[in-house]
Amino acid sequence: MKMVIGDAKTTGVTDKGVDVINPATEQVHAKVPDAGVADVDHAVKAARRAFDDGPWSQMTPSERGSLMFKLADLLKKHSDELALMDTEDMGKPYVHARDHDLPACVSFMVYCAGLCDKIRGSQVPQGTDKHIYILREPVGVVAAICPWNFPAVITIQKLGPALACGNVVVLKPAEQSPRSTIRICELALEAGFPPGVVNVVTGMGETGAALAAHPGVDKISFTGSTEVGRAIMHAAADQIRKVTLELGGKTANIILPDADIDAALASTVLTSCYNSGQICTTGSRLVIRHKLHEQFIEALQVQFNKLQI
């Protein structure tokens, strides 16, 4: 698949590629461009033009919302295709991608589309000789760097609010699972979004680093590891830019003596194994009272052995 920059699909300046491996077969089943600094610069400049000079900044909120509703319709129409991409790229069960992730994408995009004409400022009373008002304005070019485990969902989580507020976006999906993000950008163009409003660059960590450091970016939104989040915060600090970080978690299931053991077992299996265990809220630790420990672990092993990989 190719990247989407402006209204063009491109393989990038160097034609270098990144293999996308299906974890079920451990075989390469797709290839995407490995974007370099020049490609990132091209994407940011396309977004900059769309924000500074293009029709996006002149559109009314309801016109933006109308395009987002169209994108939601296309997400629904192509749900099976997008779900299969995520399953093949990162290994989540197809039933989760199809029945959980994509319906969430559609409903969230509908929600954000409805927000477009409801984002308003306020007036602050200061007496008869002063008039103070707060005006909400889009921040500009948003760099959205996504993780591998919920490719479509987190793409939409970053894209929807940014577009609703009048921003433009350059998406950088994880190299392990980039295809649904690319496809969503293609659908945005199909929905009628002006060129440069939604862009995607693919590649390894160097691509994300170039995007985070680009002077044309006004806001960075990153979901991923604490280590990379720390580096992104440094990059944002150098140019005093807005940054949002959602970093890794280490969640615990706490089993107390008066717990319903069957319910606790079911919850532990679900939170440990949902999305093939690749989720920041997974129950990756157990805190159990000593007298319950051996009994609970033995019962948990029985439940785990029933799962189909």
Question: Catalytic site residues?
Answer: 246, 280
How many Å apart are CA 114 and CA 69, to the nearest integer? Answer: 8
Cβ count near 189 (within 10 Å): 18
Query: Taking the chain, what is the end-to-end CA distance rounded to the nearest angstrom?
Result: 29
Burial of 136 (0-12, 13-18, 19+ CB in 10 A): exposed
How many Å apart are CA 208 and CA 205, to the nearest integer? Answer: 5
Contact of 36 with 16, CB cutoff 8 Å: yes
- Nearest alpha-carbon partner for 70 in 193, 195, 198, 194: 193
Is residue 96 within a helix (H) or strand (E), and if so which, with residue range? Answer: helix 94-96
* Rounded alpha-carbon distances, angstroms, from residue 79 to 86, 89, 114, 219, 302: 11, 15, 21, 29, 35
- In sequence order, what are the residues at sequence separation of 6 or more whose Cβ sits closer than 8 angstroms to the Cβ of residue 99? none
Contact of 51 with 141, CB cutoff 8 Å: yes
